[in-house]
Chains A and B, each alone.
Chain A
Amino acid sequence: MVDTFHHLMAGFAAAATPTNLMFAFIGCFLGTLIGVLPGIGPAAGTAILIPLTFQLDATGAIIMLAAIYYGAMYGGTITSVLINVPGEAASVITCIDGHAMAKKGRAGAALGIAAIGSFIGGVVATVLLVLVATPLSRLALSFGPPEFFALMIVGLVLVTSLAGSSLLAGVLMTITGLLISLIGLDPVRGAPRFTFGIPELFDGLGFIPVVMGLFGVGEILATAEKPYREVIKTNLRGLIPSREEWKRSMGAIWRGTGIGFFLGLIPGVGAIIPTFMSYIVEKRLSKHPEQFGTGVIEGVAGPETANNSYANGAMVPLLTLGIPSSPTIAVLMGAFIINGLAPGPLLFQERPDLVWAVIASFFIGNVLLLILNLPLVGLWAKILEIPYQYICAGTLLFCIIGAYSINQSIFDLWVMLGCGVIGYLMRKLSFPLAPLVLGLILGPQIEKSMRTSLEMSAGDFSIFVTRPLSASLLALAVAILVFAAMQFAPKEIRDPNAD
């Protein structure tokens, strides 16, 4: 614990340098902007902005990109409250009571409590992250390739079973993501696979162009179907909630913090589930559940806190185990890799300076976001008035810059466009995209750990079930899959006694 404290203090010293403070501020600002602009989700937004960090050192780059991520989680609230359109998926539930509050002239209080709740949730979740990071990374250091293989399978199974409304569609998308990740040189023998003699494919399909296509171009094409929206003018005065509103919000904020953090630890849960769960909990605990949906402040405070607490909690599996829990965290993982870093337990040993500076920057970032969100809420509301057509054109242009500048390759642009069309079609057909992205980023590691394990056992597959931890994790994966299959099964299978 003393070690952790010393590392954290050193992290604060690094994160609080003027340069890194500036990167955290820029990241928070751009992240909030991404959250405010409907049509650009945090995954595409973070990917688009990766080129901004090319000239930065690894610490500054990761601080800025992480700030963009949790800034976007904050910013989505503003559009939910003011125009009833969530800036990102996690803010969907805030539309219900947040927008109802805006219609009653309490938009300021809704945005105020969302910012304060997000601040408390973010800070408390970061404290919990500090407490669990070292023990968890030490535990992960004892893992061998079979355990890592089993752990990543659990992560993929969770994402697959929670991502969409059809389990079959989720599994098919995961397998597709895994197969796409195998394009290029074989990681163990170096033999080319599925490259068809195209030199650009020897390094595989770029992760960033694929994500920008699926989430950036795909989203723009989807919203081009109905590109017009109405901005409602509303009262933004009175950002500080009244005494009564405070009293009603505090319980929701603490419960939202707990729900968000603990669900953030589970790979695959995504940011939507904690917010919905928080809303349901608040409604169940309320003495007047019938008022939910008419503009009650607990319906904003709980989910918004859970949203930001989740964002910080989800950094735990990334930093300690190297497992991303959502597409946006996968983009962050991609940014680590671009900077020559492999997130996971070894990072705590090899680059403690970087890891702890990034963790310390979460505290600083949450303070910056509170400052950005309360006094500048009028500015964000003004940005909502920019016609969608300009945002669409600008976003596509930044997608082009982002995809091109990583390798200065026109080929990456074609990949982005192809993935954009696929992303649009998959959206229309309700096929989940998150499992594909996670399969894509985890694929090389899953294959490598599987093949290394089999080399250790001279090709004997029982290595995965004879080691206790690996066997337990695989049993857990099977249990999750069976449970999910039961949920998706027809009613007569789930309940044979039903008429």
Chain B
Amino acid sequence: MRRGWFVTAGVFLALFAGTAFLSFKLPLLDALGPGPGFFPLILALLGGVLALALVVELKRDPQAPAGAPQPDAEPFMPDQGALFRIIGIIVLLLAAFTALDPLGYRVTSFLFIVLMLLVLGVRNYLAIVLVALALSFGVFHSFYYWLKVPLPIGEFGL
């Protein structure tokens, strides 16, 4: 878990270094005062110093800083079943976002709910279909026609 903090501190350092680099390309000062690059540069420099301080503190003392996971903290990686569910959710979300415009909300959300419930371990197929119908076609009707919330129709008009 502490390795996760080291990695995160490294990500912060890279983020702040990148921001500082990009800020230098923007005007820092102009005739009216500070320019568009001024505030991000100050923040990036401050953040960079603090991220370095975090790395130093993590290296210096295995108990520091307060709040950081201790060496005996529970492992960062979830067990195999949990990892399958988490990756499954992310993959299904990626697929749904890709399919939303071409297939429309109703078809996409129907397939999304069916597959999501299967990934999460539901095996009552009648319940899966009924819930998927309610959350896809039912929700579409409520949001699109009653609440006038714009949702994608898709190329097949479904």
Where the two chains meet, the residues of A that have a C-beta atom closer than 8 Å to any C-beta of B are 51-52, 54-55, 164-169, 171-172, 175-176, 178-179, 182, 186, 188-189, 191, 193-194, 217, 220-221, 224-227, 387, 389-390, 392-394, 396-397, 400-401, 404-405, 408, 410, 413-414, 417, 420-421, 424-425, 428-431, 447, 450-451, 454-455, 458-459, 488, 490
CA gap between A350 and B105 in the complex, in Å = 40
Q: Main secondary structure on chain B at its contact with chain A?
A: helix
Could you list 26 examples of A-B contacts with CB < 8 Å? A51-B143, A54-B148, A55-B148, A55-B149, A166-B67, A168-B50, A172-B47, A182-B40, A191-B27, A193-B36, A194-B19, A221-B89, A224-B82, A226-B82, A396-B89, A400-B97, A405-B150, A417-B97, A429-B1, A429-B76, A451-B34, A451-B38, A454-B34, A455-B33, A459-B29, A488-B65
Instruction: Indicate if the CB atoms of A194 and B93 lie closer than 8 Å.
Output: no
Assuming A179-B40, A189-B36, A193-B36, what are 20 further A-B pairs, CB within 8 angstroms? A52-B149, A166-B68, A172-B12, A172-B47, A175-B16, A179-B44, A193-B26, A194-B22, A194-B40, A221-B89, A224-B82, A225-B85, A389-B117, A393-B113, A401-B149, A417-B94, A421-B90, A425-B4, A429-B4, A431-B8
Q: Report the Cα distance A36→B131, complex, angstroms.
A: 20
Q: Are A165 and B90 in contact (CB under 8 A)?
A: no
Give chain B residues whose Cβ lies under 8 Å from the Cβ of A226.
Answer: 82
B93 partner residues in chain A, CB cutoff 8 A: 217, 396, 400, 417, 420
Interface size on B, residues (CB 8 A): 71
Best-buried of B34, B69, B82, B96 by chain A (most CB within 10 Å): B34
**A408 CA / B144 CA spacing, docked (Å):** 13
B15 at the A interface (CB under 8 A): yes
A362 to chain B, nearest CB (A): 24
Interface centre among A168, A400, A414, A420 (most CB of B within 10 A): A168
Question: Are A417 and B90 interface neighbours, CB within 8 A?
Answer: yes
For the complex, what is the distance from the CA of A226 to the CA of B151, rounded to whole Å? Answer: 32
Judge whether B126 is part of the interface by a CB distance below 8 angstroms. no
Q: Contacts A179-B43, A389-B117, A408-B150; is A224 near B89 (CB within 8 Å)?
A: yes
Residue of A nearest to B120 (CB): A389
Q: In the assembled complex, which residues on chain B have CB atoms less than 8 Å from the CB atom of A420?
A: 93
Contacting pair B12 A176 (CB below 8 A): yes
Q: Which residues of B from 87 to 107 have beta carbons under 8 Å from A?
A: 89-90, 93-94, 96-97, 100-101, 105
Assuming the A-B contacts A54-B149, A393-B135, A431-B8, are A227 and B89 also in contact, with contact meaning beta carbons closer than 8 angstroms in the complex? Answer: no
Those of B116-158 within 8 Å (CB) of chain A? 116-117, 120-122, 131, 135, 139, 143, 147-152
B27-60: CB near A (< 8 Å → 1, else 0) gives 1011011111111100110110011011001000
CA distance A100 to B147 in the complex (A): 43
Contacts of B54 in A (CB 8 A): 168-169, 172
Does any Cβ of A come within 8 Å of B14's Cβ?
A: no
Which residues on the B side are within 8 Å of A396 (C-beta)? 89, 93, 112, 116
Give the docked Cα–Cα distance between A295 and B62 (Å): 39
Residue in B35, B43, B69, B148 with the greatest tally of chain A CB atoms within 10 Å: B43
Q: Tell me the minimal C-beta distance from A100 to chain B in angstroms.
A: 27
CB-contact partner of A393 in B36, B65, B117, under 8 A = B117
Question: Known: A179-B43, A179-B47, A428-B76. Is A227-B66 also a contact (CB below 8 A)?
Answer: no
Q: Shortest CB–CB separation between residue A175 and chain B, in angstroms?
A: 4
Out of B1, B65, B109, name the residue touching A400 (CB < 8 Å): B109
B61 at the interface (CB under 8 A from A): yes
Q: Is the CB of B64 within 8 A of A224?
A: no
Task: Identify the closest chain A residue to B15 (Cβ).
Answer: A176
Across-interface contacts of A221 in B (CB, < 8 A):
86, 89-90
Complex CA–CA separation, A417 to B100 (angstroms): 14
A410 touching B97 in the complex, CB below 8 Å, given contacts A168-B53, A176-B15, A392-B120: yes
**Chain A neighbourhood of B65, CB < 8 A:** 166-169, 488
Return chain A residues, CB-CB under 8 Å to B67: 164-167, 169, 430, 488
Tell me the minimal C-beta distance from B16 to chain A in angstroms: 8
Closest 5 A/B residue pairs (Cβ): A166-B67, A165-B67, A186-B36, A389-B120, A225-B82
In the complex, which residue of chain A has the Cβ closest to the Cβ of B140?
Answer: A401
